[in-house]
Amino acid sequence: MEVRTRFAPSPTGFMHLGGLRTALYNYLFAKKNHGKFILRIEDTDQGRYVEGATEVIYNTLRDSGMQWDEGPDVGGEYGPYIQSERKDLYLPYAKQLVESGHAYYCFCTENELQARRAAAEAKGLVFKYDKHCLNLSKSEVEQRLAEGQPYVIRLNAPTEGTSTYTDLVYGEMSFPNDTLDDMVLIKADGMPTYNFANVVDDHLMHITHVMRGAEYLSSTPKYNLLYEAFGWEIPQYIHLPSVMRDATHKLSKRDGDAYYSDYIDKGYLTEALINYLALVGWNPGDNREFFTMDELIDVFDVHRLNKAPGIFDVNKLTWFNTEYIRRMDLDTYLKQVTPWFDQVLSGHNVDYHRLAELMHERTEVFSRVPDMVRFLAELPDYDLSLYTHKGQKSNPDVARTALNLCLPVLEAIPEDQWNETELHDRLMETIRESGMKNGQVLWPLRIAISGQASTPGGAMEIAYLLGKPETLRRVHLGLEKLG
Ligand code: GLU
């Protein structure tokens, strides 16, 4: 039997990390088993329609390297793959259940239901539909239908006993049937409910393994009732625990840490994110941590999915990201970092290639790059105390001497020879002749031209990147400051 999994997102406009991980595990499981990965858009709830939301789904999956075998835009044997385009096919299935006695027409109006709900709540009871219309005679139903009375179709759920099924992650799950409601299958507007469409589609699309968030664990008995009523084969269930920030906190929209786009906007790499996400809730059985998508497919095993919530640790993601950046070649790095340089350096004529060499090993997340290189565009307003450095034997007095020593040397370098070798050779020779220690000169020089204690590269590299006029301007400013 061919393994067929599906990712069935509702188009909300955002891809939650939990959803992305669900997609990933579905993809890995299908590919591991040489099966098919299907994308189905669950948009029956039109009230939630968000412009461009399906594109967010397509782009996120494609950027992440998960190409679906069947889906809205690529087609397939069991389409359409967007539920709103399938809306007419559900009603006949619901009628089939009415015929077989598993479902029934319900004509109760919203007002009637509300009154009964209020009455139940007044007695401290949880309102469940009371099967009122189950007792209507066939002729009465026909008459009301002929009159065009609005109706819904409900499932006739058992009220006693328990429903049990086996989940691949959670094991045996049992729920008492008296909690089951006679759920609506077809709404008054003729549209299927979300739950009904989900089951009909999983069946029609020959889904063998339903892998989804654990929030569906308790609805699954309702789904199983439908499969049984139709006489359809129940798929294998694999429910996935949620992805959390820590043991007690969810990832949240407000904190900007819940969605895929939050991380991409901050300059995290998709590959690093996917690699880490795979390990949030699953492990390969050994301590390997770095995986390409093909390697993940190779080692993926559903029996290694965790039952405990997955903790998404952004520090760990940052660590992965740093490693992925390090492993890039310089050209790739340069290409990726350029827009981040541009944010603060455009128009400043900085040698990006050289800056990229200096920044490559120090980059953890691209969004931190602009702050790290901003000093090249604009000298920060620094404190004189930066000139004091014990290890380098520097203090403001030493710094004044050092800058006065450097100034004529820098001035003497012709602009067309302003490069690191020239800067290095001339400065080192001057330092040697002066009898000062290297650090006593180079530390103050670096502070004067960068205005900060930590920089990519040292004094020579920064002087080169700034160019001659700006370097001299900053050394003069330093001397002024030192008085
Ligand atoms: N459309 C559901 C959601 O976005 C998925 C349900 C399922 O996978 O069965 O949460």
Which own/partner contact pairs does 352-355 have at CB distance under 8 Å and 24+ positions apart? 354/461, 354/464, 354/465, 355/456, 355/465
Rounded to whole angstroms, how far apart are CA atoms 470 and 347? 14
Parts of the chain with a pLDDT under 50: none
Name 447's Cβ contacts closer than 8 Å, sequence gap at least 6: 382, 386, 387, 399, 453, 478
Name, in order, each residue with C-beta under 8 angstroms of 250's C-beta and a sequence gap of 6 or more.
242, 244, 258
Segment holding 209, helix H or strand E: strand 209-213
Q: Is the dihedral of CA 77, 78, 81, 82 positive or negative?
A: positive
50 phi and psi, to 5 degrees? -125, 125
Atom of ligand 1 nearest to the CA of 7: 8
For residue 80, cis peptide bond before it (omega within 30 degrees of 0): yes
Q: Is 238 in the pocket of ligand 1 (CB under 6 A)?
A: no
Q: Which residue has the tokens 């050994």?
A: 286
Local structure of 176: helix, strand or coil: strand
pLDDT of 126 reads 87
Distance in angstroms (rounded) separating the CA atoms of residues 222 and 219: 5
- Ligand 1 pocket member 241 (CB < 6 A): no
Give the nearest ligand 1 atom to 215 CA: 10
Q: d(Cα 185, Cα 191) in Å, to the nearest integer? A: 9
Q: What is the pLDDT of residue 51?
A: 85
Catalytic residue check, 138: no
Does the beta carbon of 26 sit less than 6 angstroms from any atom of ligand 1?
no
Catalytic residue, candidates 31, 123, 250, 253: 253
Contact of 300 with 26, CB cutoff 8 Å: no
Give CA–CA dist 221/140, Å, rounded: 31
Among protein residues, the one with the nearest Cα to ligand 1's atom 6 is: 8
Predicted confidence at residue 314, as pLDDT, reads 96
Q: Which atom of ligand 1 is nearest to the CA of 9?
A: 4
Give per-residue pLDDT as tens, 341-390.
999 999 999 999 999 999 999 999 999 999 999 999 999 999 999 999 99
Residue nearest to atom 10 of ligand 1 (CA): 9
| pLDDT tens, residue by residue, 318-331 | 999 999 999 999 99
Taking alpha carbons only, the member of 301, 266, 271 closest to residue 286 is 301
Q: Measured in Å, how far apart are the chain's first and last C-alpha atoms? A: 83
Instruction: Reduce the DSSP state of residue 165 to 3 states and report it.
Output: strand
Task: Select from 37, 38, 42 the residue to mutate for testing ligand 1; criterion: most ligand atoms less than 8 Å from CB.
Answer: 42
Report DSSP letters for 235-270, one per residue.
Answer: PEEEEEPPEESSSS-B--TTTT-SBHHHHHHTT--H
Angstrom distance (rounded) from CA 201 to CA 82: 10
212 Cα to the center of ligand 1, angstroms: 7
pTM of the model: 0.92
pLDDT of residue 48: 61
Q: Is the minimum distance from the CB of 199 to ligand 1 under 6 angstroms? A: no
Angle at the Cα of 416 from the Cα atoms of 411 and 420, rounded to 5 degrees: 75
**Which of 25, 198, 217, 220, when mutated, tests ligand 1's pocket best, judged by the most ligand atoms within 8 Å of its CB?**
198
Is 220's C-beta closer than 6 angstroms to any atom of ligand 1? no
Ligand 1 lined by 9 (C-beta under 6 Å): yes
Q: Ligand 1 centre from 41 Cα, in Å? A: 9
- Check: CB of residue 387 under 8 Å from CB of residue 430: no
Q: Give the per-residue pLDDT at 45.
A: 75
